Amino acid sequence: MIFRVNGFLFFVLLCTLWVWITCQTSPQETLTREQGLIGAYYGNSDFTNIKEAEILRDLDQNWDEETGHGGSWSGIWEGFLIAPASGKVTLHLSTPRSATFQIGDKPRLGIENGSDSLQTTLEMQKNQSFPIKIWYSHDKTEVGGFRIEWSWADQSRIAVPRENLYFNSQQAQRWNWILEPDPESIDYSRWNTALVEHVIVYQESGRFCGWPANNGIWSWGDEILVGFTLAYYQEKEYHHSVNETKPSYSVLARSLDGGVTWSLEDPENFVGDGGKSKKLTKPLDFTHPDFALRCNQDFIYFSYDRGHSWNGPYIFPKLVDSKMTSRTDYVILSATRCLFLSYQIENR
């Protein structure tokens, strides 16, 4: 028997086959995979003050002040979990701190302050991918972490292997994560080079100096003013070597010879001096020749004498509904207009 199929019917059949094949592949399988879960850590334990993207390679984590992110921080990570078997699979979460996780379409489950362990059971097909998201809070403590295990009919509880975790390129983009290139693959001959000289702005035994990018830098020809944080030193292998039990100060350093030599300054009424915040009563003159402005969270300080004396703190105009983490980063547009580059702390 011979079947005759016209061109239009053949086209319809071909399209149907293409749609069927496409539907058999989940969206995450069409994107580039990377082992682990992707997310970010936050500078505070309440998921505010986001720092940078990072990869969680496995679900058996133990942290202290050296191997984590300090005494108080938090993290969110997401990706996919590859089912180990077909049938009912139970996941078990334990932590001495606070952790929450959500997998598939199951409700979000969590533990507060290490009060208990919990578990949830899903019907799985071997090698099927399930979305997973984890929240962890490390609040003013030395040690912490969490562990997620699983078990099924023929397997007692074991830690979820790292081979069963991955995230895709879409999730990586959402967390602003980019795979670093192999240094051996970089053609350095295409780079422009310049002769530079490194100098020490300030140093003192037993003290920590850092974060000038957060504080600000201003210049008037060969006169340069830079802000930084002066704290007490405590050796930490993986994080900022700051002794958080002692006070830190916002200070300035000034150079009058283009950065060759520097002197330390701690002006009155500057950031951290306890001044009472108030509202501006008249416009600032952004184009004043000796103008400098310092941003600090929701407040600003300004100077008309190249940072020798400061006015403030003044309440920054309320542009958002939550706290801002404004660094000193601005572009003067005119005498009465200035573009500020900042962002708000958002609970996620």
pLDDT tens digits, 65-120: 778 887 889 999 999 999 999 999 999 999 999 999 999 888 999 998 887 789 99
Distance CA 343, CA 325 (A): 6
pLDDT score recorded for residue 79: 97
Neighbours of 171 (CB within 10 A): 21
Domain 28-177 -> CATH class: mainly beta
Q: Write down the pLDDT at residue 19.
A: 41
pLDDT at 18: 45
**DSSP state string for 263-305:** EEE--TT-TTS-PPPB--SS---TT-TT-EEEEETTEEEEESS
pTM tops 0.75, yes or no: no
At 17 the pLDDT is: 44
Q: How far apart are CA 149 and CA 160, in angstroms?
A: 5
Question: What is the per-residue pLDDT across 270-328, written as a single tens digit (0 to 9) for each?
Answer: 998 988 989 999 999 999 999 999 998 888 999 999 999 999 999 887 666 666 666 88
* Tens digits of residue pLDDT in 153-190: 999 999 999 999 999 999 999 999 987 888 888 888 88
Calculate what percentage of the chain has a pLDDT beyond 90: 61
Of 67, 62, 70, 65, nearest to 44 by C-alpha is 70
Q: How much of the chain is helix, strand and coil, in % rounded to 5?
A: 10, 40, 50
**Residue 15 confidence (pLDDT):** 44
Q: Domain coordinates of the chain in residue numbers? A: 28-177, 207-340
